[in-house]
Amino acid sequence: MSAAAIVFEELPAGAGKLGRVTLNVPATLNSLTLDMVDLLQARLQQWRDDAGIGAIFIEGAGEKAFCAGGDVQALYESVTAAPGGPCPYAESFFQREYRLDYTLHTYPKPVIAWGHGIVMGGGLGVMAGCSHKVVTEKTRIAMPEVNIALFPDVGGSWFLNHMPGKCGLFLALTGASINAADAIYTGIADRFISSERREDVLQALLRQRWQAEPAGNHALVRHTLRPFAEQSVSQCPGGQVEPHLGSIANLCDGDDVHQVVANILSQQTQDPWLASARDSLAYASPLAVMWTFRQLAQTRLASLREVFQAELVLATNIMRHPEFAEGVRALLIDKDRKPDWQYRATRDVPAAALDAFFTAPWESNPLADL
């Protein structure tokens, strides 16, 4: 592979071409930098207007990850360089990352995500925006942002709110890890295909005679992927979300966020998945839990465009507050796992402090033109 952070290829097919995108920083689990976001945005715009490109295939280099998220180290450096005030790199990153995700969600041509390995944070934002989302037996998905005092962004306010029952709320508050079967059940993936079939899938896509109309090409992608999914059924792991649906509903059945949190934290369970979710919430920033709960509630009926605009307000305000830097320090920089959160419990968070995170910090939202 090239040393480029993203490798773009135009592969000749039976007719037309397949655009191939490889996120190519396996040493950081293909985490997204601002440069990578800009490169992908520019190439998507170019390929959208290129009649020769019939479909696009996005994958991650290496066997470990599709994309583990945004480059949190770079965000940390940006916010600690300007504590309490605007932090240009971090704020530009979120603006352009959300614009990229919106571009993917609304892209006219078929975009196939090969979601193999770790898919977290910004990586899930990319995959969720693709029109054809494939997961494998190695797929591991999570949005554990509350553990670094962020929130499930990159469109999480959209796809978490569209999950069955209270699944989205539970996953947002606990950062619980899910697999391929869970991804399909919750709607953030479309098909399970065994990872050993990746090259076969690519070759089948390259045999297609891509058409001028995107609708016909979407059908070609579906017809290409379907037999591989049918042949892979026996290799799909057992799900975790659907079997726990009753427990999730009971745990999230509260009059307010405090009761939901108390329900999850007070579990006396031997179930490893529920216990892991409980322990993750116990570690999380109480302030982040509060803004995550409110963000989901406020965007429950919002359009996709409104979701990204609302997420940018919250993300920008979080970057200007010390809680995020402390969360990253404790988990990823010093790795002492002893964050000094501003509040000890969700009930300690003043209403006015929470309101401030949902007040736009500029006169015009930078994503107003979506």
Query: Which positions are catalytic?
Result: 70, 122, 145, 153
Written as one string, the DSSP assignment of 188-256 is S--EE--GGGHHHHHHHHHTSB--SSHHHHHHHHHHHHHHHHHHHGGGPPPPSTGGGHHHHHHHT--SS
Rounded to whole angstroms, the Cα distance separating 111 from 105 reads: 10
In terms of Cα–Cα distance, which of 179, 124, 180 is closest to 155? 124
Contact partners, residue 350, CB within 8 Å, separation at least 6: none
Amino acid 113 reads A
Which residues, listed in sequence order, are joined to residue 67 by a DSSP beta bridge? 119
Q: Tell me which DSSP letter residue 330 carries.
A: I
3-class secondary structure, 71? coil
Rounded to whole angstroms, the Cα distance separating 269 from 26 reads: 37
3-class secondary structure, 100? helix
Amino acid 104 reads L
CA pseudo-torsion sign 271, 239, 252, 152: positive
Which residues, listed in sequence order, are joined to residue 56 by a DSSP beta bridge? 19, 111
User: Under the phi-then-psi rule, with left for phi > 0, alpha for psi from -120 to 50, and beta for the rest, what region is 153?
Assistant: beta
3-class secondary structure, 177? coil
